[in-house]
Structure 1
């Protein structure tokens, strides 16, 4: 087996110099480092990551925590977040992905095992877990919702701007009556979006049909079930548009319409939130609000590594990202 001693001998340097060549930001000269890395490549040497961790006091693992995983309210967009995070990882780092609800023993599974954590949090119930990360001196970034803790950096979307832009678009398209199918009452984003919906409807002189306002889960099944309830109302009571709290909900709602021979958007318009890949290829293609998940993941992991590498500014960093309206075919244009 090729060892660091073989690499040092091949490069004509000491063993300690050869070892430092594999450490980021070490004081070794660039030409010496290049010589060592070439020798390692020629010999087929790969540094022992555990040994490097002992030298650098690092674990080369990032903890990624979602409020929940593998439950009915888990959206299909999670895979997009994980893919984005993986693409931004430095070499030698890996992700450990868990649902906060799945963490049973913090000291055994998390403490002293990760270099940092990025928490995709949807509810204040996660605050106790976030505080554990802070108390364990684990560098932490919270995304998806506004975080109160002064010790953690924060990246979240300005959902209210996206909802307001959507309501304006619907008003300009000639709609005046709105219904909604929202996400869980225990999550932060559904309340932010609902409050923005009420405010924007008042601003543009639009009515929210109370009997067509539903709260459920971020899932296709929830969208289908709650849309069934709306369609069970007399047709003259239907609103012109149903605003859905996620694209998953919207897809379920459109499925319910198909099953009742209700045409979207001729009979009723449906819009979503997230802009998952299915939104652009389904029939009809879905008008929605692009939730900047990939951007939040990129900014979040960048902030986290700045903290890990002591390169971040002092004080809490807050980044707010604006969602964008995406218009497609699921809204009837009346004028």
Structure 2
């Protein structure tokens, strides 16, 4: 196996010069760089990333962290996030994916292990992780949840506005008895979507009914159980806003299990626009939260921060969009 030392001997330079030349360092003269790169090509040299890491003082690892992978992160949300990041990060980097709740302490998270970190933040419990990463001086991008620290690159969608738009669409369709299936308590997305639901009702002067606000857990089973609870009320709602699509799919099945129809007996609207939303029967009207786009932007920003070693805080909002399909009908 060809090593940097072999190339150094043939080029009559130090192995540090070879390493810098192969990494396109501006410190090496163009003529020397060209000579070294030609020798490496002739010898079919393949870089040893462990040695490269030592010379460049880089780990060639980017961390993608979730608040939790096992609790409250739906499979579609997880897949879209990883897909968006992976689309941007090239083969020069390893992608390390974990949940923050897997760590009893953060001592293993340091700048020698990670060149940069993307945090898919779902809860304020992440704040201790954020400040640990900042103290370690690891470039950081926080996506999905708004953070107050102006020095952080923060990319998110306006969940409150998207939810408000969805509920106002139901109101325009003649619905007044509108329920919400909430997401996990403590998750920022749950709070924002609840606030959007309440704002729509207040704006349109529709009374808020506490029995129409039911808990979910961002999974299909909790959506099913929440819809069962709503259908058992003395005065069931005519429409339900589900805080994510997975729960909406569960809710659809609970309606069918009761021998009722969507949207004939009850309208259902979701949030996220996961891939399956187009293929449910009926197809699901939902708010498109561009998770893959947000994740892709996050990856682009972290690569720039790593390359420049300059981290300039900014806040980027990616718009949501109401995707009108067939699970909502006009209430007579």
TM exceeding 0.5: yes
Deviations 1:112-139 (A, max 9, x none): 3111111111111111111111111111
Identify unmatched segments of 5+ residues in structure 1.
none
Q: Which residue of 2 aligns with 1:215?
A: 215
* Alpha-carbon distance change, 19 to 203 in structure 1, aligned in 2, over 3 angstroms: same
Within the candidate set 263, 266, 274, 1:265 is matched to 263
Within the candidate set 304, 316, 321, 1:319 is matched to 316
> Within 5 A, what are the aligned runs for 1:24-35?
24=24, 26-28=26-28
> Within 5 A, what are the aligned runs for 1:174-189?
174-189=174-189
Identify unmatched segments of 5+ residues in structure 2.
none
Deviations 1:87-128 (A, max 9, x none): 111332011111111012422354531111111111111111
* Alpha-carbon distance change, 50 to 177 in structure 1, aligned in 2, over 3 angstroms: same
Distance 1:265 1:24 in 2: 61
Q: Which residue of 2 aligns with 1:118?
A: 118
Q: Which residue of 1 aligns with 2:44?
A: 44
4+ residue runs of structure 1 moved beyond 6 angstroms? Answer: 29-32
Q: Which residue of 2 aligns with 1:164?
A: 164
Pairs aligned (count): 330
Q: Is residue 239 from structure 1 mapped to residue 262 from structure 2 by the alignment?
A: no
* Alpha-carbon distance change, 38 to 248 in structure 1, aligned in 2, over 3 angstroms: farther
Q: Is residue 133 from structure 1 mapped to residue 133 from structure 2 by the alignment?
A: yes
Secondary structure class of the residue paired with 1:20: helix
Secondary structure class of the residue paired with 1:107: coil
Distance 1:192 1:99 in 2: 22
* Alpha-carbon distance change, 97 to 39 in structure 1, aligned in 2, over 3 angstroms: same
Distance 1:333 1:86 in 2: 42
What TM-score, normalized by structure 2, do the two folds share? 0.90
Q: Does the CA-based 8 Å contact 1:303-1:312 persist in structure 2? A: no
Distance 1:49 1:261 in 2: 60
User: 1:6 Cα deviation (Å)?
Assistant: 4.6
* Alpha-carbon distance change, 325 to 27 in structure 1, aligned in 2, over 3 angstroms: farther
* Alpha-carbon distance change, 216 to 39 in structure 1, aligned in 2, over 3 angstroms: same
Q: Is residue 108 from structure 1 mapped to residue 108 from structure 2 by the alignment?
A: yes
Deviations 1:222-256 (A, max 9, x none): 1111111111123xx12221000111110111111
What TM-score, normalized by structure 1, do the two folds share? 0.90
Q: Does the CA-based 8 Å contact 1:120-1:143 persist in structure 2? A: yes
